[in-house]
Amino acid sequence: MADIQANYLDNPDNGLWVAEADVNGQQKVVGVLAVMGKRGEEEDGSYGEMFLMVVEFPLRRKTLGSQLMQKALDFCKDQGYSRLVLDVSSAHTAAISLLQKFTFAQTGASNIEIQLPIVFMSLMEHKYM
Ligand SMILES: CC(C)(COP(=O)(O)OP(=O)(O)OC[C@H]1O[C@@H](n2cnc3c(N)ncnc32)[C@H](O)[C@@H]1OP(=O)(O)O)[C@@H](O)C(=O)NCCC(=O)NCCS
């Protein structure tokens, strides 16, 4: 909890969004997406880096991931970030499909041998015009 407070809630460069749903009569957090702002670290200006994107299994494919993504993109645009980037594993096919839907493109790749078989990590980014 302390990290979330310090890293996200107290820092206007960063953003954290949660999706809530009624689960058995109780409001529960069922999805989360987090962005950290990187200011002045690269020649083409400030950008956002996404760290967390997950929706609880039974509530997937009900647009929660898309709604969280839209919040993150709107936030990055408002902050004046030139792009939103993240590292994604080739195993995360649902996430890659979602990212492509939001016009993220692959801009880099590295082969990291986490376990057999090799998992390919891609850097994907959404650029603002
Ligand atoms: C990726 C994730 C957050 C998507 O959340 P979600 O709420 O299911 O997403 P949505 O319902 O908004 O779906 C949006 C799009 O994502 C893609 N998508 C979602 N689930 C998919 C699946 N099982 N297979 C293929 N594409 C999928 C589709 O393009 C979908 O659009 P469509 O429904 O019009 O076809 C969710 O699958 C998840 O938590 N996955 C595990 C964690 C993860 O991989 N995180 C990313 C690490 S970088």
Distance from Cα 43 to the centre of ligand 1, integer Å = 32
State how far the alpha carbon of 19 is from the alpha carbons of 77, 85, 90, 122, in Å: 21, 21, 25, 26
pLDDT in tens, 81-97: 999 999 888 889 999 99
Alpha-helical segments (H) within the chain: 2-4, 64-79, 93-101
Q: Ligand 1, residue 33: give the atom nearest the CA.
A: 3
pLDDT in tens, 25-61: 999 999 999 999 998 766 768 999 998 899 999 999 9
Write down the CATH number for the domain with range 2-127. 3.40.630.30
Q: For the chain, which residues make up each domain, given as ranges?
A: 2-127
Q: What is the dihedral angle through the alpha carbons of 62, 85, 51, 41, rounded to the nearest 10 degrees?
A: -160
Distance from Cα 41 to the centre of ligand 1, integer Å = 30
C-alpha span between 15 and 48 (Å, rounded) = 9
Q: Ligand 1, residue 67: give the atom nearest the CA.
A: 12
